[in-house]
């Protein structure tokens, strides 16, 4: 696995999006990209995080930022999650964990007293040139979207 480094270009990768669309990370060059990883579609914390991004979508769009959410859920589960919550951004289905592994978000976690592999809630800000600008790991949902929006604004003001 390539270790992602702040300020360095992220590798291009093909991704599967809701609406049965295929894309590449390089397709998002030219605008700031907020890529957030969550453990499981339609669970309380993941739903709240998505709803927080949804509530702030106008502010992100004014900053020309694109938001994508990602988990290991199937494309069907991601489509259902997006439709049910009315998310105005695409979700990525990554059951093969290629994107998760690229960003190093798969961790051993304790669940009901036993160790399980799962996604550590994380968010990444990628600048318009495809460089990793900022990373948040072990994200707490409350207040996180405001923090990400502030980072996008600062990125735009810096001209990177």
* 143 phi/psi in degrees, rounded to 5: 80, -5
Q: Is 46 a catalytic residue?
A: yes
Residue 55, C-beta contacts closer than 8 angstroms, at least 6 positions apart: 145
d(CA 112, CA 97): 23
> Where would I find the beta strands (DSSP E) of the chain?
14-17, 21-24, 33-37, 66-71, 91-93, 106-111, 114-119, 122-126, 132-136
d(CA 1, CA 36): 19
Q: What is the DSSP string of 87-110?
A: -SS-EEE-TT-HHHHHHT-EEEEE
- Total residue length of the chain: 160
Pick the catalytic residue from 15, 35, 46, 148. Answer: 46
| Contact by Cβ (8 Å): 70, 36 | yes
- Residues taking part in catalysis: 46
């Amino acid at each position: 696995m390539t270790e992602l480094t702040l300020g360095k270009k992220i590798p291009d990768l093909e991704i599967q999006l809701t609406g049965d669309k295929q894309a590449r990370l390089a397709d998002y060059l030219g605008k700031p990209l907020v890529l957030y990883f969550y453990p499981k579609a339609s669970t309380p914390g993941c739903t709240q995080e998505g709803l927080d991004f949804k509530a702030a979508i106008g502010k992100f769009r004014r900053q020309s930022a694109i938001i994508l959410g990602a988990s290991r859920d199937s494309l069907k589960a991601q489509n259902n999650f997006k439709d049910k919550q009315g998310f105005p951004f695409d979700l990525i289905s990554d059951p093969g964990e290629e994107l998760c592994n690229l960003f190093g978000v798969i961790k051993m976690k304790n669940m009901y007293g036993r160790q399980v592999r799962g996604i550590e809630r994380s968010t990444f800000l990628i600048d318009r040139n495809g460089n990793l600008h900022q990373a948040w790991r072990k994200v707490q949902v409350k207040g996180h979207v405001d923090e990400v929006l502030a980072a996008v604004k600062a990125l735009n003001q810096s001209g990177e």
